[in-house]
Amino acid sequence: MAVTGWFVALVALGVVPVVLLANGWAYVGWVGLCLVLLAVDAALAASPRAASLARSGPDRVRLTEQAEVTLLVTNGSRRRLRGVIRDAWEPSAGATPRRQKLDVPAGERRAVRSVLRPWRRGERRAAMVTIRAIGPMRLAGRQASILVPGGIRVLPEFAARRHLPSRLARLRELDGRTSLMVRGQGTEFDSLREYVRGDDVRSIDWRATARRAGGPGPAGSPAPTLMVRTWRPERDRHVVVIVDSGRTAAARIADETRIDTAFESTLLLSALADRAGDRVDVAVFDRRVRGRVQGARGADLLAKLVDTMAPIDPELLETDWTAVPSLVRSMTAQRSLVVLCTPLESPGSTRQLLAMLPQLTRTHLVLVAAVTDPALLEAAADRSDRASVYRAAAAERAMLDAQRVAAAVQRLGADVVTAAPLELPPAVADRYLVYKAAGRL
């Protein structure tokens, strides 16, 4: 039951008879008339309970993109269903318009479309649909909220994918398509081909040249075609990424939580390593495994990754680093590149990580990817007054702590990449390419 603005106007119109008759009974009569009309109009409105609803639309959307969802309203009553409909989504799903006009003749079906512009990653669900059916006199309405299950999964944005083309170009340079690669550690034999000018003379394979020419030619015969060997970086290496989803990952730096930065880095590194022919396994971990992608390749890998990452939010728990070595062992048996996405802040909060690291560095190449806070640098440079000098001192102190932790990590045999949130994903990818070029994988 609901009343409209027209009903309020109708009641207000009663001022005319009341003033003309100048009588208390005129007031009573008018209000009574209004109430009767209200009841009649409400009775004549179509029942929103008789409407049957169905949803359709995509079940996935990438953050910052938009999706159109459709709600099919079938009028099951024998009256015309006219009024307002609200398809209520969770606020961060960003559904527009919030309410729409509805006009469905008896027994027919209409589509109600709304556009979702989600501003937060995760599982967004549609709470309910509310229909207010207005009567033919537009005075009263009947209202009902109907639960229609539905939802959409908002995937991570992967804004770092714009860095992918340049890194792939670098990867091709490393690859056998240019013969810059020479034989050495971390490369494997790729193919034999004819010598062209500019090739390193050291890469000429004389035995193959001789086989090709069929033996030493007589003097004056055309020079035999020289054959060179090409090399390419090792393939089928193993990259394991562990994303820390514990307490410290909930911190927001420059409008992005640390876990989102870690996801961006993971996605870029996975896309790159997959093109380079390496296997990528990812686990999101705090005290239990929150998400895990193993054994996926190609386009499937990224799809599975974003799908796994979408609903994961940081938990307010201390990450249990002692369980990480066994987790890595369960994911890989051979020597691998293990990337740990976790903040390096203070010696106190990283004690467990430091205690665990030697177990990993003994068998694997370990890279710790940590986000630094640009606000610290800003605070350290601001010395305008007394309070800001103390802030600068505290910021210097925090940076010193972080450096000490990074130095400790390096002493334990792991590598460290630190960068601001937007720079971390390309920095991790670059470090991977460096390893690849140096054959350290």
Q: Between residue 237 and residue 266, which ones bind other proteins under the rule CB under 8 A?
A: 247, 250-253, 257
CB of 208 to other proteins, least distance (A): 44
- Binder of other proteins out of 1, 43, 106, 438 (CB under 8 A): 1
Q: Which of 144, 126, 125, 136 is nearest to 51 (CA)?
A: 144
Q: Measured between alpha carbons, how far is 144 from 84 in angstroms, rounded to an integer?
A: 11
CB of 251 to other proteins, least distance (A): 4
> Residue 309 burial (CB < 10 Å; 0-12/13-18/19+)?
buried
Q: Measured between alpha carbons, how far is 73 from 332 in angstroms, rounded to an integer?
A: 52
Residues in the interface with other proteins (CB under 8 A) total: 84
Window contacting other proteins (CB under 8 A); options: 60-68, 154-162, 202-210, 391-399? 391-399
392 binds other proteins (CB under 8 A): yes
CB of 386 to other proteins, least distance (A): 5
393 binds other proteins (CB under 8 A): yes
> Which residues make beta-bridge pairs with 339?
241, 367
21 binds other proteins (CB under 8 A): yes
36 binds other proteins (CB under 8 A): no
438 binds other proteins (CB under 8 A): no
Q: Measured between alpha carbons, how far is 57 from 126 in angstroms, rounded to an integer?
A: 12
314 binds other proteins (CB under 8 A): yes
Torsion from C-alpha of 226, 232, 234, 235, nearest 10 degrees = -120
Nearer to other proteins, 188 or 401 (CB): 401
- Binder of other proteins out of 196, 201, 316, 333 (CB under 8 A): 316
Residues 108-167 that bind other proteins (CB under 8 A): 120, 122, 127-130, 132, 143-150
Residues 39-58 that bind other proteins (CB under 8 A): 49, 52-56
Residues 294-313 that bind other proteins (CB under 8 A): 313
84 binds other proteins (CB under 8 A): yes
CB of 400 to other proteins, least distance (A): 6
Cβ 239 vs Cβ 266: under 8 Å: no
Q: End-to-end alpha-carbon separation of the chain, Å?
A: 70
Q: Measured between alpha carbons, how far is 206 from 280 in angstroms, rounded to an integer?
A: 38
Q: Measured between alpha carbons, how far is 82 from 110 in angstroms, rounded to an integer?
A: 12
- Give residue 360's Cα distance to chain centre: 28
Cβ 205 vs Cβ 225: under 8 Å: no
Cis peptide before 118 (omega within 30 of 0): no
CB of 4 to other proteins, least distance (A): 7
Nearer to other proteins, 9 or 434 (CB): 9
- Binder of other proteins out of 106, 115, 375, 438 (CB under 8 A): 375
List all residues 6 or more positions away from 312 whose beta carbon is below 8 Å from its beta carbon: 245, 259, 284, 290, 291
Nearer to other proteins, 97 or 295 (CB): 97
